[in-house]
Copies of this chain bind each other. A is one copy, B any other.
């Protein structure tokens, strides 16, 4: 089954209680153990499992309604031009959700993420879109099905369906029905993340192309699944026992190894800027001086610092530009 057929299968014979329009929110998420590499690009099935933390009230709010004619898509109040690749991607994703083949959607998405801090907004956006579609059509889909649907919009969107710590199971099935995310039961209200924006330039190489180049040319990537397995285990233990040092170490080591697999690709894939490295050395120097401070980084130049609430004043003193997030603040 391709993606269209898989989504149609999941929505098959759902009872409907349509409303006029519906809205939903989904948080952004930052992986502590990264998703890097697909085993199936059509269904966004991952090469490994991953584990993230959602960013509380920071994320995307999406309103959808049915309309006659073509889809209309707005991002933060601005219409998204039809000719953009992202418009094409959204229209294609929406196709299997249409009640009739010629039905159109109006999609209106706002996100409240710190601007230009290098957040992947598509994860929260696709998760909120799937939630809003479910409410609009009154399907009453369960969390697992919603996660699978979101995954087919953008891989890491499957994790943005939930708050707190979330694990995306790699799954084994070819149709991806066992590759979905689930929230972990533990909370950790004192946990803090702070974004350190080094550069807001667009990525020179997008994530999917970066994943493909790494898989195809980086010999070190062969060891990546082993690294993920070790870090997932460490993170689960750290979260269960509230061991911050273990959490920080596993998250930072996972991110460093992620970037290492990219540096070993050809041409070398280096998302770091000199300022990224300066910030990394600063974190390492503070840690060597006894400060419990770690970081993670996605495929971009910005750092996300990890620390506990009690260190917040100290961290903000050392990194005046840091933007602090309380992931468990989503009342």
Q: Chain A residues in contact with chain B, CB under 8 A?
A: 218-224, 226-227, 230, 249, 252-253, 256-257, 259-261, 263-264, 266-268, 270, 272-278, 280-281, 284, 287
Contacts and interface: CB of A to CB of B under 8 A. Distances in A.
6 contacts: A218-B257, A220-B224, A220-B261, A222-B222, A259-B263, A270-B284
What is the count of identical protomers in the complex?
A: 2
Given A220-B257, A267-B287, A273-B277, 8 more contacts: A219-B257, A220-B264, A222-B223, A222-B226, A253-B266, A257-B263, A257-B264, A259-B260
Contact of A226 (B219, B230, B273): B219
Nearest to A218: B257
Given A227-B219, A260-B263, A281 B270 contact: yes
Contact of A223 (B220, B256, B270): B220
Contacts of A226: 219, 222
A143 to B, nearest CB: 32
A266 B280 contact: no
Contacts of A218: 257
Interface residues of chain A: helix, strand, loop or mixed (majority): helix
Contact of A274 (B257, B264, B266, B275): B275
A256 B249 contact: no
A266 B249 contact: yes
Nearest to A259: B263
A221 B253 CA distance: 13
A268 B257 CA distance: 9
Nearest to A262: B260
Contact of A268 (B227, B267, B276, B284): B284
Contact of A256 (B268, B272, B281, B284): B268
- Counting from the closest, the 5 A-B pairs by CB-CB distance are A274-B274, A260-B260, A219-B227, A257-B264, A223-B223
A251 to B, nearest CB: 12
